Amino acid sequence: MSDSLYPVSDEWARRARVDAAGYEKLYGRSIADPGSFWLEQAKRLDWIRRPELAGDWSFDEEDFHISWFADGKLNVAANCVDRHLGRRGDEIAIIWEPDDPNEEARRYTYRQLHEEVCRFANVLKAEGVEKGDRVTVYMPMIPEAAFALLACARIGAIHSVVFGGFSPEALAGRITDCDSKVVITADEGRRGGKRVPLKANVDAAAAHARAMEKVIVVKATGGEVAMQPGRDVWYHEAAALVSAECPAEPMGAEDPLFILYTSGSTGKPKGVLHSSAGYLLWASYTHELVFDYRPGQVYWCAADIGWVTGHSYIVYGPLANGGTTLMFEGVPNWPDASRIWQVVDRHQVEILYTAPTALRALMREGDAYVAKTSRKSLKLLGTVGEPINPEAWRWYHAVVGEGRCPIVDTWWQTETGGQMISPLPGATGLKPGSATLPLPGVDPQIVDAEGTVLHGATEGNLCIARSWPGQMRTVWGDHERFFQTYFTTYPGKYFTGDGCRRDADGYYWITGRVDDVINVSGHRMGTAEVESALVLHPKVAEAAVVGMPHDIKGQGIYAYVTLNTGCVADEALRTELRNWVRTEIGPIATPDALQFAPGLPKTRSGKIMRRILRKIAEGEVSSLGDTSTLADPAVVDDLVANRVG
Ligand code: WTA
């Protein structure tokens, strides 16, 4: 697999900002003298007060702290909008491509974006939002979602975006956890010709979201919604009453910019908290370096704003860099599997960033959907979210990019704020399936189970040995959990939760999660979350959830369920339980396979042996390993005999 190398083309080596020698130099400096390296990089931002301090951090328990550019002051929205007004006021900041291809796309210049953001900020102020307040954003992929984020940043409010596919229950949990008084939503969303009842979901969440006092509703589809007087406000009505000028609040570099909930291996989703300056610097730095981005290029990150990829690479990175960012409301396979490539042609997209799961789904539909489009504008392709299988990589390279476009396979996490391990298109030869090399400033280490650092070609667990500006700063409301989750497995290092191999050329190959997190279509799902949802059902006594291989999604969700005595395991209940999880969490958490199990494999001390459950879900029933330590080895035979799928 690691044999095929796609070298950097002469053209790319010439035109890119950074070539192979340049990468070596940058990387070397970033590690040898991080202080001056990062203060130099900090010049890419527009500061109200330029920092003299770079990183100040320790991952050790006694002295645990992380801060970057602590004496600096800036405003993130002013960096993404105002500072471009002079030179690029009339250039396009956002292109919006609607769900329905027969509708007109919308375009916003930086000047128009400025007006929209200011107005939105003034509406938030009028509804009582102040610096430091949390604002939950539950929006479809419409430009107002970007305006809302930047409006929060402008006044120093902390946004918490909840993906529009999450259920009212999941939304309520996230509103409550960060105590957000204001929720921004739309009447409805649209995806693939279907409507998503966002406002109705907010109404349903209200019973469990006591903190929520105001709901600002953007009219997106014009669909019928119930408005509760005193609580609900139409955005367009409120916006008509406020000015289009709003000063940008000076913020400390370390002031929080946003919270984004993400699944971990235990408990409820964690509110990952990012800072203002360090985060923005990382988004801007990586977006420019990895995509070799130059203003004027149409750039499209086909993620949803509900995930970190949408935050860093639809909104903050490209706008900080004065770019033109395309926002797509729809889905890749509607009206048909040609849609992505048609959008590329329609807007002359030069850089496309998407997920392996989308590529696998489109690849399955055959090459004709791709071949009938031009795609001549494309120069660079990117992927993110999960390991890309070499077959999908080659299809992306050969069929989509016609061999012309390098692929940047970018490894990173919600916690890292932005890309960490990735090729640079003018510097790094590519190997299908490898995220290749660390970006300057990133210090990866592979360790064994005991934490011993492994050198050379090796395989183990991926850690990052030193802080970088885009690193998350805490778990909202639970700093101890932040430390416990990431810094105690291998003391003194940040542990990513990923397994990783390094080959003889020093290339990194991410092998997937080594904890109880499943990566479903590039989205993280905690097994514990799905289990808690299942056991809430009155007929369920116990549940255990593991990942299983899935052709399109990468990983699917396999649930083992033990019923209460007297309950009948039948197809109707299977469907009911799958729908139950869907309602509790959202469609992405729906188990792909659900097996009724009279008992689960447990040790004598009562611990579920997930290793065995994983093997059965993967269909590897001949290599279950040692089952003699089980309290009741016979349950395994039943599980194997009644395996589903
Ligand atoms: C996985 C998404 C292999 C990894 C930006 C990580 C990847 C998790 C890649 C984070 C990649 C992301 N190759 N695996 N290029 N990118 N991952 O927080 O397991 O939604 O830990 O952030 O996705 O997912 P998250």
For ligand 1, what atom is nearest to the CA of residue 415? 18
412 phi, psi to nearest 5 deg? -170, -175
Protein residue with least CA distance to atom 10, ligand 1: 413
Q: Annotation-wise, does 578 bind a ligand?
A: no
Pairing of strands 474-475, 458-464: unpaired
Protein residue with least CA distance to atom 15, ligand 1: 411
Give residue 159 CA to ligand 1 midpoint distance, Å. Answer: 22
Give residue 246 CA to ligand 1 midpoint distance, Å. Answer: 37
Give residue 482 CA to ligand 1 midpoint distance, Å. Answer: 19
Instruction: Indicate the length of the chain as a whole number.
Output: 645
Task: Give CA–CA dist 559/644, Å, rounded.
Answer: 10
Protein residue with least CA distance to atom 6, ligand 1: 413
CA distances from 47 to 71, 89, 441 (A): 11, 20, 21
Q: Give the SS3 label for residue 405.
A: coil
CA distances from 218 to 202, 222, 430, 529 (A): 13, 9, 44, 31
For ligand 1, what atom is nearest to the CA of residue 496? 21
User: pLDDT per residue over 189-240, tens digit each?
Assistant: 999 999 999 999 999 999 999 999 999 999 999 999 999 999 999 999 999 9
Q: Annotation-wise, does 228 bind a ligand?
A: no
Task: Give CA–CA dist 522/555, Å, rounded.
Answer: 9
For ligand 1, what atom is nearest to the CA of residue 410? 15
Q: Give strand pairing partners of 513.
A: 498
397 phi, psi to nearest 5 deg? -70, -50
For ligand 1, what atom is nearest to the CA of residue 421? 15
Pocket test for ligand 1, best of 464, 498, 509 (most atoms within 8 A of CB): 498
For ligand 1, what atom is nearest to the CA of residue 517? 19
Q: Annotation-wise, does 443 bind a ligand?
A: no
For ligand 1, what atom is nearest to the CA of residue 388? 13
Helix H segments across 561-641?
A: 571-584, 610-618, 634-641
Give residue 355 CA to ligand 1 midpoint distance, Å. Answer: 10
| pLDDT above 70 coverage of the chain, percent | 100
Protein residue with least CA distance to atom 8, ligand 1: 413
Q: Is it the case that residue 2 has pLDDT exceeding 60?
A: no
Give residue 385 CA to ligand 1 midpoint distance, Å. Answer: 4
User: pLDDT per residue over 81-139, tens digit each?
Assistant: 999 999 999 999 999 999 999 999 999 999 999 999 999 999 999 999 999 999 999 99
User: pLDDT per residue over 392-408, tens digit each?
Assistant: 999 999 999 999 999 99
User: pLDDT per residue over 508-548, tens digit each?
Assistant: 999 999 999 999 999 999 999 999 999 999 999 999 999 99
Q: Annotation-wise, does 409 bind a ligand?
A: yes
CA distances from 104 to 95, 107, 141, 193, 543 (A): 11, 10, 15, 15, 48
Task: Give CA–CA dist 586/165, Å, rounded.
Answer: 6
Protein residue with least CA distance to atom 7, ligand 1: 386
Q: Annotation-wise, does 386 bind a ligand?
A: yes
Q: Say what angle helices 198-205 and 168-178 make with each other, to 10 degrees.
A: 60
User: pLDDT per residue over 289-348, tens digit each?
Assistant: 999 999 999 999 999 999 999 999 999 999 999 999 999 999 999 999 999 999 999 999
Give residue 519 CA to ligand 1 midpoint distance, Å. Answer: 8
173's CB contacts (< 8 A; 6+ apart) are: 208, 268, 269
Q: Annotation-wise, does 509 bind a ligand?
A: no
**Which class for 122: exposed (0-12), middle (13-18), buried (19 or more C-beta within 10 A)?**
buried
Which protein residues are within 6 Å of ligand 1, measured from CB? 262, 307-309, 384-387, 409-414, 435, 496-498, 510, 512-513, 519, 524
Handedness of CA 357, 358, 359, 363 (dihedral sign): positive
Other C-beta atoms within 10 Å of 193: how many?
11
Protein residue with least CA distance to atom 14, ligand 1: 386
Q: Is it the case that residue 430 has pLDDT exceeding 50?
A: yes
Cis peptide before 335 (omega within 30 of 0): yes
Task: Give CA–CA dist 11/22, Å, rounded.
Answer: 16
494's CB contacts (< 8 A; 6+ apart) are: 59, 463, 464, 465, 467, 471, 486, 487
Protein residue with least CA distance to atom 12, ligand 1: 385
Q: Annotation-wise, does 387 bind a ligand?
A: yes
For ligand 1, what atom is nearest to the CA of residue 422? 15
CA distances from 138 to 123, 307, 318, 476, 524 (A): 17, 12, 22, 18, 18
What are the domain boundaries of the chain?
Answer: 521-642
Q: Annotation-wise, does 290 bind a ligand?
A: no
Q: Annotation-wise, does 400 bind a ligand?
A: no
Task: Give CA–CA dist 96/464, Å, rounded.
Answer: 37
Q: Annotation-wise, does 264 bind a ligand?
A: no
Q: Annotation-wise, does 513 bind a ligand?
A: yes
521-642 classified as CATH 3.40.50.300? no
User: pLDDT per residue over 604-636, tens digit each?
Assistant: 888 899 999 999 999 998 888 888 888 888 899
Q: Annotation-wise, does 28 bind a ligand?
A: no
User: pLDDT per residue over 9-68, tens digit each?
Assistant: 999 999 999 999 999 999 999 999 999 999 999 999 999 999 999 999 999 999 999 999
DSSP letters for 453-468 = EE-SSEEEEEEE-S--
Protein residue with least CA distance to atom 3, ligand 1: 387
Task: Give CA–CA dist 465/463, Å, rounded.
Answer: 6
Protein residue with least CA distance to atom 13, ligand 1: 387
Q: Which of 70, 106, 110 is nearest to 88 (CA)?
A: 110
Q: Across the chain, which distance is largest between two alpha carbons, in Å?
A: 73
pLDDT at 1: 47
The answer to whether 260 touches 173, Cβ cutoff 8 Å, is: no
Q: Which two tokens stand for residue 249?
A: 């609040």
Give residue 496 CA to ligand 1 midpoint distance, Å. Answer: 10
Task: Give CA–CA dist 256/152, Å, rounded.
Answer: 11
Protein residue with least CA distance to atom 1, ligand 1: 386
For ligand 1, what atom is nearest to the CA of residue 414? 18
Q: Which two tokens stand for residue 140?
A: 């479809």
DSSP element (H, E) containing 561: strand 554-563
User: pLDDT per residue over 138-196, tens digit each?
Assistant: 999 999 999 999 999 999 999 999 999 999 999 999 999 999 999 999 999 999 999 99
Give residue 387 CA to ligand 1 midpoint distance, Å. Answer: 7
Task: Give CA–CA dist 535/538, Å, rounded.
Answer: 7
